[in-house]
A and B are shown apart, each in its own frame.
Chain A
Amino acid sequence: MDAAALSSRFSALRDLAGKDMPTYETAGPDLLAVVKFLRDEQGFDLLADLCGVEWKDRTPRFGVVIHLLSTASKEYVRLHVPAVDDRVPSVSSLHPGANWHEREAYDMFGIRFDGHPDLRRILMWDAYPHHPLRKDFPLAGIEVPLPAADVAAITGQTVEPAPMMGGPFVSQGGRMSEGEPDALDQSWTEERPKS
C-alpha cells in the first residue's frame, strides 16, 4: 500500500501504527472518500470485515472497525471510524457486502449507518429493544416480551435471562496475580439460586 499517497491525500487521517497491518483512524465524513480511494486507486477491492466496537477508553464510546483486503497485492488495511452521536456513514454503496455487516453492527451496538439502504436488525428479531454487545448489557440477558405476541398472549411466556449459576468464573483482567478470580454474582449459593 502506498501510505504516503494516502496520507498526503487525506491529511486528517491519523496513523495508529498498527502492529499487524497499516491502521488508520478516519473521521466519519471522510470515510467514503478514503474507502473509495483505497478501492479504486490502491486496489483494496474486498471488504473483509466491518464490525462495531465499544471502546474502553475512547470518546465517542462506539466505533466501527473496517478491514479491507487487496487481492492483487495480498495485504490488509484497517480503518477505525469513531461513531460520533452513534452515527457512521454507510460504505455499502462502495462495497455491497458491507450491507449485512452494518446491519449487524446496528443490531449489536445501536450504531446507525447514514445512507444504508435497509438498516434493520439482522440477528435479533425486529422488535428486540436492546443492543446486546454493549458492555452495559448483562451476559445473562434481560427479560423481554416473546417475539411471537400471539403465543405470548396464550402462554404468558417471556424471553428470560439465562441461568448463570454464579458464573462466569473469570478473572476481571489486570496483571497476573493481581486479584483472585471471582464469581460475578457473589450472592449465589447452592441453597439460593441467582436472583
Chain B
Amino acid sequence: MKITKEISIGDVAARAEELRGENMTLNMGPSHPATHGVLRLSLELDGDKVVKCDPVIGYLHRGDEKIAENMTYNQFVPYTDRLDYLAPLANNVAYAIAVERLAGVKVPERCEAIRVVCCEMARISSHLLGLGVYAMDTGAWTVFMYTFNERERLYTLFEELTGARFTTSYTRVGGVTRDLPEGWLAKVDAFCDGVLRTVDEVDRLLTRNGIFLERTEGVAPISKELALAYGLTGANLRASGVPFDLRKDKPYSGYERYDFDVAVGTKGDCFDRYLVRMEELRQSVRILRQAVRGMPGGAWYAEDAKKIFLPPKAKVLTRMEELIQNFMLVTEGPQVPPGEVYFEAENPKGALGFYVVSHGGGVPWRLRIRGPSFVALSILPAIIPGNYLTDIASVLGSLDFVMGECDR
C-alpha cells in the first residue's frame, strides 16, 4: 500500500479558484505615519496585494481660494505659506510673480536674485525633509537625523532673513518685505558646504543600501506616457524621463542667468525619484552659490510701481505723498488691472500654478491654486494596484507630496 503523497505547489495552484478568499477593505489613514499628513487611502486588498486604491482627500481643506477672493493681494501672502508648508518661501515667490505678471510689474535684478536664493533654499529644505522621511518610511531611521540637522541650520537662516522660521511670508507684490540682512549671504555660502557634506552622507547611507534598494527599485514605475497623461510635474515627471523643468524651459525670476543641470531618471520607479531629488539638491547648491556670489546691488523692490509696493517707512513718516500712498496701499491693496494670468513656478514638489482673474482693484476676482501634490496624488489609483501593502509607504514617500497644498 502506498502511503506517501508527493505534494507540490501545483496542488494549491489547481485549487486556486476554490481557495480564493474575500477581498478586504482597509482604510489607510487619515492619520497614518506614511501618509505624511491627513490623507486616507481606501484600499481593497486581496491578501496583502492591493486590488484597488481610492485616495480620499480634503481633510485639510481650508478654502484658500475662497479666502483669496475676500482679501487684498498682499493679505493673501501668509496663506501661501500654508500651501506647501515645507517650502513656504518658494510659494511666496510663485504667488508674487503671478500677481506681478498680471500687474505688469518688473522687479529689479537684485530682487530676482534674492528670490532665487529663497526658492533654492526652500527646495533644499523641502528635499531634505522629503528624503529623510522617505528613508524613514522604508525603514532607515538614521537619514532623517542627518537631514533634519541641516534643516535646522536652514531655519536659522530663514529666521534671520524673514523674522519667522516656518511661516515666512517674505514676498510682496513688487518685491520682498525687507532687504538681505548684513553678512547673511556669507552664512548662506558657509551653509552650502555643510549641506553638500550631508548629501554625501545620505548617499553613503542610502544609495547602495540593500534594504532601501529592495524596497524602492522597480516599485511602482511610472512610464513617460502615464506621467504626462496625469500631468505630473517636477521631480516626479523628470524621474519618468521627461526633461522638463520650468526653471530651464520657462525661466522666471532670472533663472536663465544661472548654470545648472536638470536631473532626469530613466525608469520612473521609486528609486529613480529618489535619485532625481538627490541630484536636485546638488544642483540647488550650485545655483545658490552662483546667486550668493553674484548678488547684484541696487534696489530690492520695484520702486516705480507706486500703486503696487509700499513706499519706504522713513518717507511715509515725513512726507505727505508717501503717507497717502502707504494708506491707500494698505487699505485698498495693490492696484492690479483687469485681466487674467496663469503662472507656474518650479517648486520643490512640482509646478505650483496660480491662475488669477482680476476685474481691477486690490482684490482678485478668482484665484485658482494648482497644487502639484494634488496632481501627484491623483495618479495613485493608476499605480498602486498590483503592489503590496508595504510598498505603499515607498510609493507615497517617493512622490513627496504635502497635504496642505493638495487640499488647500
Inter-chain CA distance A180–B327, complex, in Å, is 11
Q: Write the chain A residue with the least CB distance to B361.
A: A173
Q: Classify chain B: how many residues form its interface, as a range.
A: 35 or more
CB <8 Å contact, B333 and A170: yes
Give the complex CA separation of A139 and B70 in angstroms: 8
Considering the complex, give the chain A residue whose CB is closest to the CB of B333: A171
Query: B359 and A173: CB pair below 8 A?
Result: yes
Contact B328 A177 (CB under 8 A): yes
Residues 388-408 (chain B) with a chain A CB within 8 angstroms: 407-408
Interfacial chain B residues near A177, Cβ < 8 Å: 328, 332
**Which residues in A have their C-beta under 8 angstroms from that of B233?**
46, 48
Task: Verify A175–B375 contact, CB threshold 8 A.
Answer: no
Q: What is the total of A-B residue contacts with beta carbons within 8 Å?
A: 127
Q: Which of B219-255 contact A (CB under 8 A)?
A: 228-233, 242, 244, 249-250
Q: Given known contacts A45-B228, A168-B70, A175-B360, is B353 in contact with A133 (CB within 8 Å)?
A: no
- Please give, as numbers and ranges, the residues of chain A lying within 8 Å of B70 by CB-CB distance: 139, 168, 170
Task: Give the A interface residue count (CB, 8 A).
Answer: 48
A108: nearest chain-B partner, CB-CB: B65
A174 contacts across to B, CB distance below 8 A: 360-361
Q: Which of B335-387 contact A (CB under 8 A)?
A: 335, 339-344, 351, 353, 355, 357, 359-363, 365-366, 368, 370, 374-375, 377-379, 382
Query: Which residues on B are within 8 Å of A, measured CB to CB?
Result: 57-58, 61, 63, 65-67, 70-72, 75, 101, 228-233, 242, 244, 249-250, 307, 328, 331-333, 335, 339-344, 351, 353, 355, 357, 359-363, 365-366, 368, 370, 374-375, 377-379, 382, 407-408
Can you name 17 A-B residue pairings with CB atoms under 8 Å? Answer: A19-B339, A20-B101, A45-B228, A48-B344, A56-B359, A65-B355, A67-B353, A78-B342, A95-B229, A100-B378, A139-B70, A170-B72, A170-B333, A173-B359, A173-B363, A175-B360, A177-B332
